[in-house]
Amino acid sequence: MNQLTITPLPWKDTDDWLNYFLLASTERPRYSLTEQNLTFERVAVRVLGVPLDDVEYFNTLYEWHTASDVHVLSEELNKQIQNEDFQLLQNILQQHKELPKGLSINRLVAMMYGAKLIPQHKDPQMNRHLQTTLIRVIKTFQQQQAQGLLSNDFRRFLIDLVKWMKNHWIVWMKDATPQTPFPKVVWYGDTTQSQRYFLLLLMWLGCDVLLFHPAGKDDFQPLDPHNEESTVYRYGDTAPMQPFPTQIREVQATVGYRSTQQLERLIEDEHGVYRPWQYQNYEPHNVMLQHTYDDIFIYAKEPAMMRPGFKAQKPTIYIPNIFAKVNGMSRDKQDYWEKMHALVELPNTLLIQQFPYVKESKANFQFHYDKSLVGGNLDSERMMGTSWWQYKELSPEIQVAIARIIIDCCENPSIQKINGEKERDLAITTLKQLSMVPKEILRFMQSFDYAQQLPKIVVFYDESLGHLTRADAILFSFLNRFGFDIIFYTPTGKQDIENYLEPSIYTIHRLEEMVFDVHYEQPTKTQSFIQKIRKRFFD
């Protein structure tokens, strides 16, 4: 096994992330070991905010720190460095400084290895894996800094990496082999620059890493702007940063208590008064509602004001909504269809079965795009005054909301670029498609009281009835930001929205069976009657 290559693959899902984190890498689906290659999934999640009931959140952190194999690195970080190591590293850094362009990265790492500044494992494959991964991290640092490795921050970065590799990595891996599951690491709270790069090193080495920040601060985002190395899980609420827990909290919240908490917060925020259309002049902004498969059917019946994360801070109203993709079907087909039918029968719900749903515009929109710019940026007032603006019959506040969300979709796209596509080209395509939102969707927008029931799109994707297009995906991205719930059923489990949308905006749920050649099953009159009786007595 002298040529063993270790390849940790980033896990891209946020569904059931905690259980997946606790699962050994050897038990995950993509684990593979041959004489030449070791491949396994690694978990890296930036957990932002807190659940409405945060007791379990802090208790879990405390238990990991006191009685588990999980390393809560933020609380046990050893910042000591041996004086001999410090002097050796100073000598290397001095040589680096004396050269006009500094040492090459490969030369730098070779010198560090020769001086035993890089911890050396008894397994040569582990040594090689650490060296190649360290080179990769140093290259990333070089790319992120305007002055590269001649940056003033480079000295601190390198000293910190050396001491933490020696104080933690080699200690954790002392008796490990490549086949041993790699360490599980948790970080709580803020990070320094060096700490973020060390966490990145651990991710690339193959460690499972969770980064928690109750206030929702995403320190790691500049290192991973496109969520390629980690995924983001956002709770619907946030809490002020507080010290790491030192004991178990005894208070336990019931489901009723959580609902009461949310209602109390709403009353507190709005002075105990709620009126229909109270937020008509606010700008809608969606908040990704983290949920399980079963949660979909619970939250679907809840008004926005009762969902965790709902808040109004003028001029913005934050609407917690669901964008879910459901792959496969339940073994219990009756339960699967009944749950779907219950969604479809909710008020302000549109069922889509045939694609393309929207027309793909062939117009050249470059002129209209340029005419909508003010100072190089899209301007909502300019857009609403153009000849192509087709929403003039809508109320002024809805027009403003549509315009500003279109601008957000253009400037911060969640649509994947086609090879070679420039940002401007994608923005023009997005503007062009969102200039023609279907009339039935506009009716949902007009009847949407932002604090009440959310409009819903339920998609049953039957490939025999056509294929999803990029234009459809652009519309879904827009509706998601407006506050619509979107539930996308794909019985085959094939990729559809994944081919167009960034994975950070939706949650994937995998049911037990992948089923082919299945068509939407209309509810029978008997089923419909039973559902109405259930609603009357139990909802």
How does pLDDT run across 122-137, given as a tens digit for each residue? 888 899 999 999 999 9
Model confidence band, residue 211 (pLDDT cutoffs 50, 70, 90):
very high
**192 contact partners, CB below 8 Å, separation of at least 6:** none
Q: Are residues 79 and 47 in the same domain?
A: yes
Q: Could you give the strand order of the β-sheet that contains 5-10, starting from the edge strand earlier in sequence? A: 5-10, 37-42, 32-33
Can you spell out the DSSP letters for 46-85? EEESB-SS-HHHHHHHHHHHHSSS-EEHHHH------HHH
Q: Are residues 432 and 457 in the same domain?
A: no
Q: Are residues 195 and 228 in the same domain?
A: yes
What integer pLDDT is reported at residue 273 of this predicted model?
54
Q: How many CA atoms lie within 13 A of 453 on its CB side?
A: 13
Top-confidence residue, 8 or 440: 440
Q: Which residue is listed with tokens 């939102």?
A: 437
What is the rounded distance in angstroms from the CA atom of residue 432 to the CA atom of residue 393? 19
What is the rounded distance in angstroms from the CA atom of residue 252 to the CA atom of residue 107? 56
Question: Is 272 part of any domain?
Answer: no
Domain boundary among 437, 470, 496: 437
Mean pLDDT, range 441-460, rounded to an integer: 96
Reported as a single tens digit per residue, the pLDDT across 300-312 is 999 998 888 888 8
What is the rounded distance in angstroms from the CA atom of residue 482 to the CA atom of residue 476? 10
Collapsing DSSP states into helix, strand and coil, what is residue 347? coil
Mean pLDDT, range 3-29, rounded to an integer: 81
Model confidence band, residue 30 (pLDDT cutoffs 50, 70, 90):
confident
Round the average pLDDT of the chain to a whole number and report it: 89
Reported as a single tens digit per residue, the pLDDT across 165-174 is 999 999 999 8
What integer pLDDT is reported at residue 247 of this predicted model?
86
Question: Is 29 part of any domain?
Answer: yes
- Answer yes or no: is pLDDT of 536 > 60: no
| β-strands 316-321, 283-288 pairing | parallel
What integer pLDDT is reported at residue 263 of this predicted model?
58
Q: Are residues 186 and 129 in the same domain?
A: yes
Q: Are residues 58 and 138 in the same domain?
A: yes
Distances (CA, A) of 431 to 182, 307, 378, 455: 46, 31, 10, 23
Helices (H), 270-379: 293-299, 333-344, 366-371
Q: Are residues 78 and 215 in the same domain?
A: yes
**Nearest CA among 209, 19, 201 for reference residue 28:** 19
What integer pLDDT is reported at residue 533 of this predicted model?
40
Model confidence band, residue 357 (pLDDT cutoffs 50, 70, 90):
very high
Top-confidence residue, 358 or 8: 358
Model confidence band, residue 458 (pLDDT cutoffs 50, 70, 90):
very high
Longest dimension (CA), the chain: 84
Q: Are residues 469 and 487 in the same domain?
A: yes
Question: Is 94 part of any domain?
Answer: yes
Domain boundary among 437, 465, 480: 437
Read off the amino acid at residue 252. Answer: Q
The length of the chain, given as a count of residues = 539
Axis crossing angle, helix 470-482 with helix 396-411, rounded to the nearest 10: 120
Collapsing DSSP states into helix, strand and coil, what is residue 141? helix
Q: Are residues 309 and 196 in the same domain?
A: no
The torsion of the CA quartet 200, 10, 229, 159, rounded to 10 degrees, works out to 10
Can you spell out the DSSP letters for 197-229? HHHHHHHHHT-EEEEEETT---TTTTTSTTSSS
Read off the amino acid at residue 251. Answer: V
Q: Are residues 193 and 307 in the same domain?
A: no
Q: Would the pTM count as exceeding 0.85?
A: no
Mean pLDDT, range 138-159, rounded to an integer: 93
State which of 289-298, 309-318, 348-357 shows the largest mean pLDDT.
Answer: 348-357
- Answer yes or no: is pLDDT of 531 > 70: no
Question: Is 273 part of any domain?
Answer: no
Model confidence band, residue 10 (pLDDT cutoffs 50, 70, 90):
confident
Contacts 24+ apart (CB under 8 A), 146-152: 148/102, 149/96, 149/102, 149/103, 149/105, 149/108, 150/101, 150/102
Model confidence band, residue 45 (pLDDT cutoffs 50, 70, 90):
very high
Mean pLDDT, range 510-524, rounded to an integer: 92
The torsion of the CA quartet 513, 516, 522, 528, rounded to 10 degrees, works out to -10
Collapsing DSSP states into helix, strand and coil, what is residue 435? helix
Question: Is 254 part of any domain?
Answer: no
Question: Is 260 part of any domain?
Answer: no
Task: List the end-to-end C-alpha distance of the chain, in Å, as a whole number.
Answer: 61
Collapsing DSSP states into helix, strand and coil, what is residue 353? coil
Q: Are residues 300 and 243 in the same domain?
A: no
What is the rounded distance in angstroms from the CA atom of residue 470 to the CA atom of residue 425? 14
- Answer yes or no: is pLDDT of 248 > 50: yes
Tally the domains of the chain.
3
Mean pLDDT, range 425-436, rounded to an integer: 96
Question: Is 87 part of any domain?
Answer: yes
Q: In percent, how much of the chain has pLDDT > 70?
A: 91
Angle at 343 between CA 231 and CA 16, to 5 degrees: 25
Burial class, 199, CB count within 10 angstroms (exposed 0-12 / middle 13-18 / buried 19+): buried
- Answer yes or no: is pLDDT of 251 > 90: no
CATH code of residue 323: 3.40.50
Q: Are residues 107 and 32 in the same domain?
A: yes
Please give the DSSP secondary-structure letter assigned to residue 464: G
What integer pLDDT is reported at residue 264 of this predicted model?
56
What is the rounded distance in angstroms from the CA atom of residue 238 to the CA atom of residue 51? 8
Mean pLDDT lowest among 77-86, 435-444, 529-538: 529-538
Q: Do 409 and 434 touch, CB atoms closer than 8 A?
A: yes
* Domain hosting residue 214, numbered range: 1-248
Top-confidence residue, 243 or 29: 243
Q: In percent, how much of the chain has pLDDT > 90?
A: 69
Domain boundary among 384, 410, 437: 437
Mean pLDDT, range 43-72, rounded to an integer: 88
Question: Is 53 part of any domain?
Answer: yes
Collapsing DSSP states into helix, strand and coil, what is residue 296? helix
Model confidence band, residue 19 (pLDDT cutoffs 50, 70, 90):
confident
Q: Are residues 474 and 348 in the same domain?
A: yes
Mean pLDDT, range 208-218, rounded to an integer: 95
The torsion of the CA quartet 371, 372, 373, 377, rounded to 10 degrees, works out to -160
Residue 333 token pair = 């087909």
Reported as a single tens digit per residue, the pLDDT across 461-476 is 999 999 999 999 999 9
What is the rounded distance in angstroms from the CA atom of residue 183 to the CA atom of residue 42? 10
Please give the DSSP secondary-structure letter assigned to residue 394: S
Residue 223 token pair = 């290192």
Read off the amino acid at residue 368. Answer: H
| β-strands 32-33, 37-42 pairing | antiparallel
